[in-house]
């Protein structure tokens, strides 16, 4: 039986096919470097140079063990120590960031005070400042505060640079938070602080955790400040650089290290995928 | 329990005056309804009493205390919101107990109060449920329950039934009235629904453009509106308004509406003499119009009826709303079902002239 599809249907199908084709190609282009990194991390040094784009001749799983625990020689790079450093920086940064940005966003969204609109525009303007342009002044500031090579320096910098983004996301969420719930709590006997801690935060934990998760990925992957401010107490992203020597570079161990460094972010993304997407679209869609 | 006194209270938003020097005295245990169209300032007034809105002028007393600068939590009031405003992360029990816990009531007393309120409202079996597991009516009950557990001096209701369907609204209306009888607490209730106002309030405050138009009992407002706005706002269907000229023939006064002449009862003569030959607005409620051929409720004679043509017939079962035209005027009459008529038919409508209203054309103030 011959079915005569209308011409518009055929055009639509071709367009759809083309659209998906481009999307798949784009996806592969994005994915290829990551896959290449994982595959190369499983190669022996000989394989790495002889077949840079092929599958490993021998699957060198020991690369990951060596990267994680270090080689049996002095001065070897032990990634698990760097991971601990990263956690020491990341967890307090997130706690402070979440607390400060949620209080700031709630105030901006729900209270009327002099300069509120200016302050909000200021947060948006801060987003436009590239971190590279302030790196020297931040370095000098930390030096004068004697905070170079301390965890505190990185915590402060991470919190400061993530606040504008978090506040802007949360302000749009808190704007849509029903004022009647806040007012009902005020009438039954809450102070504003109690309204925030007993009512607003528990109801908004989805939105707040979404923002925290997005920030975790940003802070975990932060390199520039960690490299400049903390050359001694290295975080994971900086530690991996140690594989690159002046004369030789252990590429396979470096790639194994990089693979390990990306695992928490990727796991985090897959576990909290919904929250991350929600975090990025907070306030954009009416719930 | 306490009285609430408003003295010249004002609220401005920029240049817009939302509430303009309202003065009102609400007695202890009274059920007062603030009613008016959207934007009339009724909710703003309620929010000022609650302390949720700062006042720009005047004084508010709850009991003997001036509460202008007292925060909402210290005013000893409870408020029920239009959208219930339940805490979605707490179950019904905790929603109701939250205020008591904050005030550090003993656990036994909290349990007892929640249990008593749940019993009054018939929500005992819902105490462990979260708000999202409740229907609209159940949520409304929980919101009321949350208010009554605190035994406040004054209850404030901000259009609490607006989100319910028509049937549930009628049911909850009766339940709230019963609750008032039981609790004997001062209640201030805001609504835009004049039926709610008429059926629930001991007194009604009609507002418009931030001003109080009239304060009185439901029947006062219905029978003796002070102006055209109140006359039109109270009553369903709305009062008919027709532009007429008051004329005098011999000793008798009558209204000339081009297509009809209506004799004015002698009792109004002295009040109306100064308005002879002036244009006025004649108001008559649809319920005070009758089919002259079937009605025995009023004795009619020449000069108390209007010849009309039927435009629309809306049978409602027990009665029917008939939309009529007479000359340039459109009139609605609520007639009983005995009247058999159809669109385009001529009908002679009798007016109960003892219940007519006349308003000045310029100020819209009631003359009779």
- Regarding the domain delimited by A79-280, which CATH topology (the fold level of the hierarchy) does it fall under? MetI-like fold (1.10.3720)
Nearest CB to A178: which of B71, B83, B102?
Answer: B83
CB A200 within 8 A of CB A182: yes
Nearest CB to A183: which of B52, B98, B103?
Answer: B52
- The DSSP code for A184 is H
CB A186 within 8 A of CB A193: no
B61: its two tokens: 């007393």
CA distance B117 to chain A (A): 16
B207: its two tokens: 């507002």
**Confidence tier at A70 by pLDDT (50, 70, 90):** confident
* pTM, rounded to two decimals: 0.83
B52 touches chain A (CB under 8 A): yes
Q: Which residues of A touch B98 (CB under 8 A)?
A: 185, 188, 198
CB B77 within 8 A of CB B155: yes
Cβ contact, residue pair A178, B89, below 8 Å: no
- Nearest residue in B to A201, CA atom: B89
Hey, how many other C-beta atoms are within 10 angstroms of the C-beta on B333? 28
Cβ contact, residue pair A180, B72, below 8 Å: no
Q: Which residues of B touch A184 (CB under 8 A)?
A: 79, 81, 85-87, 146
Cβ contact, residue pair B72, A183, below 8 Å: yes
CB B245 within 8 A of CB B256: yes
Provide the pairing of β-strand B305-315 with B319-326: antiparallel
- Average pLDDT of A78-92? 92
Q: In tens digits, what is the pLDDT along chain B, a chain of 368 residues?
A: 799 999 999 999 989 999 999 999 999 999 999 999 999 999 999 999 999 999 999 999 999 999 999 999 999 999 999 999 999 999 999 999 999 999 999 999 999 999 999 998 889 999 999 999 999 889 999 999 999 999 999 999 999 998 888 888 898 899 899 999 988 999 999 999 999 999 999 999 999 999 999 999 999 999 999 999 999 999 999 999 999 999 998 888 999 999 999 999 988 989 999 999 999 999 999 999 998 887 665 555 667 889 999 999 999 999 999 999 999 999 999 999 888 889 999 999 999 999 999 999 999 999 98
- The DSSP code for A269 is H
CB A68 within 8 A of CB A77: no
Torsion, Cα A51 A56 A61 A65, to 10 degrees, reads 10
Cβ contact, residue pair A183, B85, below 8 Å: yes
* Separation between Cα atoms, residue B146 and residue A218, nearest integer Å: 43
Q: Which residues of B touch A208 (CB under 8 A)?
A: none
* Separation between Cα atoms, residue B262 and residue B245, nearest integer Å: 11
Contacts 24+ apart (CB under 8 A), B333-338: B333/B286, B333/B289, B333/B290, B333/B291, B334/B237, B334/B286, B334/B287, B334/B289, B335/B289, B335/B290, B335/B291, B336/B291, B336/B294, B336/B295, B338/B291, B338/B294
B348 touches chain A (CB under 8 A): no
- Give whole-number Cα distances, A184 to A104, A178, B96, B98, B157, in Å: 22, 10, 12, 11, 12
CA distance A201 to chain B (A): 10
* Separation between Cα atoms, residue B269 and residue B62, nearest integer Å: 46
B13 touches chain A (CB under 8 A): no
Hey, how many other C-beta atoms are within 10 angstroms of the C-beta on A30? 9
Q: Which residues of A touch B82 (CB under 8 A)?
A: 180
A177: its two tokens: 């938070």
Q: Which residues of B touch A191 (CB under 8 A)?
A: 73
Strands (E), chain B: 4-13, 16-26, 31-35, 57-62, 65-66, 77-80, 154-158, 186-191, 203-208, 211-216, 240-249, 252-256, 261-263, 279-284, 289-291, 305-315, 319-326, 329-336, 346-351, 357-360
Residue that is written with structure tokens 């909710």 in the block: B43
Cβ contact, residue pair A188, B87, below 8 Å: no
Nearest partner of A180 among B118, B163, B63, judged by Cα: B163
Residue A286's pLDDT is 38
Cβ contact, residue pair A183, B50, below 8 Å: yes
Size of interface A-B (CB pairs under 8 A): 58
B71 touches chain A (CB under 8 A): yes
Residue A5's pLDDT is 64
Nearest CB to A187: which of B79, B86, B88?
Answer: B79
Q: Report ipTM (2 d.p.).
A: 0.86
Cβ contact, residue pair A191, B73, below 8 Å: yes
Best interface-test mutation with B: which of A189, A203, A208, A287 has the largest number of B CBs within 10 A?
A: A189
B150 touches chain A (CB under 8 A): yes
Best interface-test mutation with B: which of A178, A180, A183, A188 has the largest number of B CBs within 10 A?
A: A188
Q: Among the residues of B122-165, which ranges form H helices?
A: 136-148
Give me the count of residues in chain B: 368
CA distance A115 to chain B (A): 17
R_g over Cα of chain B: 25
User: What sign does the CA torsion over B87, B91, B93, B94 have?
Assistant: negative
Residue A285's pLDDT is 44
- Alpha carbons within 13 A on the beta-carbon side of B260: 26
B223: its two tokens: 């029978």
* Separation between Cα atoms, residue A273 and residue A287, nearest integer Å: 18
Cβ contact, residue pair A186, B72, below 8 Å: yes
Q: Which residue has the higher pLDDT, A76 or B22?
A: B22
Cβ contact, residue pair B85, A190, below 8 Å: no
* Separation between Cα atoms, residue A65 and residue A88, nearest integer Å: 22
């Amino acid at each position: 039986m011959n079915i005569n599809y209308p011409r518009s249907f055929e055009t639509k199908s071709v367009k759809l096919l083309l659209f998906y084709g481009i999307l798949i190609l784009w996806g592969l282009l994005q994915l290829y470097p990551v896959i290449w990194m994982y595959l190369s991390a499983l190669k022996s040094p000989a394989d790495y140079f002889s077949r840079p784009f092929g599958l490993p001749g021998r699957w060198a799983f020991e690369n990951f063990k060596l990267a994680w625990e270090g080689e049996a020689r002095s001065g070897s790079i032990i990634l698990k120590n760097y991971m601990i450093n990263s956690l020491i920086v990341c967890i307090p940064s997130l706690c402070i960031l979440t607390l400060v940005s949620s209080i700031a966003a709630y105030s901006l969204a729900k209270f009327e005070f002099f300069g509120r609109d200016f302050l909000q525009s200021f947060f948006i303007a801060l987003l436009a400042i590239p971190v590279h342009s302030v790196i020297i002044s931040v370095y000098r500031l930390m030096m004068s505060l004697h905070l170079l090579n301390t965890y505190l320096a990185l915590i402060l910098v991470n919190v400061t640079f993530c606040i504008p983004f978090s506040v802007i996301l949360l302000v749009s969420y808190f704007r849509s938070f029903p004022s009647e719930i806040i007012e009902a709590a005020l009438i039954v006997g809450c102070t504003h602080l109690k309204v925030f801690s007993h009512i607003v935060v528990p109801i908004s934990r989805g939105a707040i955790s979404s923002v925290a998760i997005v920030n975790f990925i940003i802070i975990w992957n932060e390199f520039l400040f960690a490299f400049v401010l903390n050359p001694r107490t290295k975080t994971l992203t900086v530690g991996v650089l140690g594989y690159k020597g002046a004369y030789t570079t252990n590429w396979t161990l470096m790639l194994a290290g990089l693979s390990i460094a990306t695992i928490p972010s990727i796991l985090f993304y897959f576990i909290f995928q919904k929250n991350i997407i929600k975090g990025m679209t907070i306030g954009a869609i009416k719930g | 329990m306490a009285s609430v006194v408003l003295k010249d209270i004002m609220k401005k938003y920029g240049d817009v005056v939302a509430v303009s020097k309202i003065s009102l005295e609400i007695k202890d245990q009274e059920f007062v309804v603030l009613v008016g169209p959207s934007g009339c300032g009724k909710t703003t007034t309620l929010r000022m009493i609650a302390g949720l809105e700062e006042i720009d002028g005047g004084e508010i007393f709850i009991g003997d205390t001036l509460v202008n600068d007292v925060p909402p939590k210290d005013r000893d009031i409870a408020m029920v919101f239009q959208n219930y405003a339940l805490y979605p992360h707490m179950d019904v029990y905790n929603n109701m107990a939250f205020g008591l816990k904050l005030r550090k009531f003993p656990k036994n007393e909290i349990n007892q109060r929640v249990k008593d309120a749940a019993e009054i409202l018939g929500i005992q079996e819902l105490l462990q449920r979260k708000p999202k597991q409740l229907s609209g009516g159940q949520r409304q009950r929980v919101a009321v329950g949350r208010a009554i557990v605190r035994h406040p001096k004054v209850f404030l209701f901000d259009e609490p039934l607006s989100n319910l369907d028509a049937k549930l609204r009628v049911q909850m209306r009766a339940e709230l009235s019963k609750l008032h009888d039981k609790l004997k607490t001062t209640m201030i209730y805001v609504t835009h629904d004049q039926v709610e106002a008429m059926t629930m309030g001991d007194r009604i405050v009609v507002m418009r453009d931030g001003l109080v138009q009239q304060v009185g009992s439901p029947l006062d407002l219905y029978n003796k509106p002070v102006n055209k706005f109140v006359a039109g706002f109270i009553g369903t269907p709305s009062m008919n308004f027709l532009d007429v000229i008051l004329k005098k023939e011999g000793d008798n006064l009558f209204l000339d509406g081009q297509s009809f002449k209506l004799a004015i009862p002698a009792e109004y003569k002295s009040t109306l003499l100064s308005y002879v030959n002036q244009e006025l607005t004649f108001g008559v409620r649809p319920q005070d119009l009758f089919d002259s051929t079937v009605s025995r409720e009023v004795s009619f004679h020449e000069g108390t009826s209007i010849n009309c043509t039927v435009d629309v017939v809306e049978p409602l079962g027990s009665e029917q709303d008939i939309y009529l035209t007479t000359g340039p005027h459109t009139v609605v009459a609520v007639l009983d079902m005995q009247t058999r008529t159809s669109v385009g038919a001529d009908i002679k409508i009798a007016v109960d002239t003892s219940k007519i209203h006349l308003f000045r054309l310029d100020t819209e103030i009631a003359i009779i």
